[in-house]
């Protein structure tokens, strides 16, 4: 999946959906020259989409020291504390599928109901 596909995918999703494990803070990884996003917890689809759009067309100096810009064809990676993995359609599907609308859904606590006795 590339940056253009990622943006199109996220544009079709509910922007208010909260993703338990998502991504933000796009940057170019100096070692691999890949477009990477930091792994973050509890982020909305709207925030992930904003992050993806924010890096598009941004200038950077690539691994070889040449000036370049981030294109829609750039592959996208999820950078964790230990390793980096590709953000592909399957990973993105599971991220979105695990999303929820309200925080109580994630915590496992439902809305309290009053006893009418």
What is the tens place of the pLDDT at every residue in 5-25? 999 999 999 999 999 999 999
pLDDT score at 114: 43
Assigned domain for 74 exists: yes
pLDDT score at 29: 81
Q: What is the mean pLDDT of residues 51-72?
A: 88
Assigned domain for 115 exists: no
Assigned domain for 26 exists: no
Q: Domain containing 12: what range?
A: 3-16+37-100
Overall number of domains in the chain:
1
Instruction: Inform me whether the pLDDT recorded for 98 exceeds 70.
Output: yes
Counting residues of the chain whose pLDDT is more than 90, the rounded percentage is: 64
pLDDT score at 110: 45
Q: What is the mean pLDDT of residues 66-91?
A: 89
CB atoms within 10 A of CB 23: 24
Assigned domain for 110 exists: no
pLDDT score at 116: 43
Instruction: Inform me whether the pLDDT recorded for 37 exceeds 80.
Output: yes
Assigned domain for 48 exists: yes
Counting residues of the chain whose pLDDT is more than 70, the rounded percentage is: 85
Instruction: Inform me whether the pLDDT recorded for 109 exceeds 70.
Output: no
Assigned domain for 55 exists: yes
Assigned domain for 67 exists: yes
Mean pLDDT of the residues in the chain:
86
pLDDT score at 105: 57
């Amino acid at each position: 999946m590339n940056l253009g596909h990622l943006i199109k995918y996220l544009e079709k999703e509910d922007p208010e959906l909260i993703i338990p494990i998502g991504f933000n803070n796009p940057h170019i990884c100096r070692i691999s020259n890949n477009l990477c996003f930091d792994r973050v917890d509890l982020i909305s689809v709207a925030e992930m989409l904003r992050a993806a759009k924010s890096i598009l067309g941004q200038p950077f100096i690539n691994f070889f020291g040449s000036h370049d810009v981030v294109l829609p064809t750039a592959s996208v990676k999820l950078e964790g504390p230990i390793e980096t993995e590709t953000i592909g359609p399957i990973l993105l599907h599971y991220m979105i599928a695990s999303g929820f609308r309200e925080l109580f859904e994630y915590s496992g606590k439902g809305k309290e109901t009053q006893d009418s006795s």
